[in-house]
Amino acid sequence: MSAPVLHRLEVLGHFWRPTENLKAQGVESLKDVAPLYECRPPWWGRWTYFVSLIPQDESPSGKGTSADDTSQVMGHYELRPLWQRGSFAIGQLVLGLSIAVLLMGGRSRIVHKMYILPPAAPAKPTASLRSEELATRADARRLVVRSPYHFDTQGRVFPLRDVTLSMGKNDTDMSLQAKNIRGEFWLGLQSATVEGKKLSLRDAKERLFTIWYGEKRAKRAMLDMTCVSGPVLGAGSGKQ
């Protein structure tokens, strides 16, 4: 098996594991907590199990064939050898399982809901640290990420300082990168609400950046985004 395929399976494995209960991760309940971010998953994320379990018709052209038609056709075809039929059946099975694994793995990368919780215990600052490092260490807020396959009592809990929020590959999404986890979580913004409000793409990004990194870094990130998408860089000048 090639290295790219092994790498893809390894990444999917991080997202496609039995999910721990929220209580086991120190979160009693999210019943009274308003989500920071909420977005309806794409159709394939909502119907993954249904799509994966759709039975495949082995002979679509054979529907409605009468007994008389069968008797007329029998003389024109010969049954393939067993090894050919077996190879074809195994190939179909492997293909179906591969598609199911990719769909379920991709489904677990989608962020359906996201919550910010206060620290589990008060942070203990260290005087020897610089101000920026001190602020990072002191931020002991927790992030709860829920994918479409999570139930109400499930989710993944991370220290917020261990999760990097960044621009996505498209203008309509963002991504989360958690420490010690390969692969990214995907946040769609087109149909999402942030703090219960439907915002423009730019306002949604700026608000999330502000919650993550503070107002100054959020404005800097939005300025960088404007510069990268503007005509200056497109004309050939590089970002310093």
Under the banding of pLDDT at 50, 70 and 90, the label for residue 233 is very low
Cβ contacts of 65 within 8 Å, gap of 6 or more: none
Q: Give the per-residue pLDDT at 56.
A: 47
Q: Which sign, positive or negative, has the C-alpha torsion 137, 141, 142, 143?
A: negative
For the chain, domain boundaries: 34-42+109-229
Cβ contacts of 141 within 8 Å, gap of 6 or more: 116, 117, 118, 119, 159, 160, 161
The tokens for 86 are 């077996």
Judged against a pLDDT cut of 60, whether residue 123 lies above it is answered with no
Q: Which residue type is seen at 79?
A: L
Q: What predicted TM-score, i.e. pTM, was given to this entire model?
A: 0.61
The C-alpha angle 156, 157, 158, rounded to 5 degrees, equals 120
Judged against a pLDDT cut of 70, whether residue 105 lies above it is answered with no
- pLDDT tens, position by position, 25-39: 988 888 889 999 999
Q: How far apart are CA 168 and CA 208, in angstroms?
A: 13
Under the banding of pLDDT at 50, 70 and 90, the label for residue 134 is very low
Burial, 219: exposed, middle or buried (Cβ in 10 Å; 0-12, 13-18, 19+)? middle
If you average pLDDT over residues 187-192, what whole number do you get? Answer: 90
